[in-house]
Amino acid sequence: MKKNIEVFVCFLVGVLPIFGQAPYQNTLVNQGTLTISPEAIVSTSYDFNNTNSGVVKSDGTTYYYSNFNNDNLYYPSTGSTSGHAIFTPSEEGQGGAQLISGTQPSEFYRVTLNNPTPVMGFDLKNEMNIKGSVDFQDGIVQ
């Protein structure tokens, strides 16, 4: 009986870490209010998903190294000229087109698009309103 318990405990100790490390989709999900202040620098190598309950007030610099989805409010403060969204693939990433999607328009002050992926760098599936400037460094927007 004691041997059976030892084997069972060894089985649990050996198998549970495997299940605990099961792959999950790498996504940064916003379901509340996210405020990015003018001096802040934020980056995510994960897909970004602003859900239908999420609100993003972006006055700082944000680097999006993967896909971007906005299903609610994404905007700079009224009169703000400091918000800057940079869409570029991570050097460590697998590359490919970055999907920009959502059910609601996203408002930006300044945007930089830099994705050297051949044929299509950005797959634009939703409206983007830019109140300041767009810097097309590299990539094709479709």
List, for residues 93-115, the tens digit of each pLDDT value: 457 899 999 999 999 999 999 99
Average pLDDT, the chain: 85
Q: Is residue 104 part of a domain?
A: yes
The size of the chain, in residues, is 142
Q: What is the pTM of this model?
A: 0.80
Please give the pLDDT value at position 118. 85
Residue 114 domain boundaries: 26-138
Pinpoint the alpha helices (H) of the chain: 2-20
Q: Is residue 17 part of a domain?
A: no
Q: Is residue 97 part of a domain?
A: yes
**% of the chain beyond a pLDDT of 70:** 80
- What would the pLDDT profile of 12-42 be if each residue is shown by its tens digit? 444 444 444 444 578 999 999 999 999 999 9
Structural domains of the chain, count: 1
What does the block give as tokens for 34? Answer: 């996210």
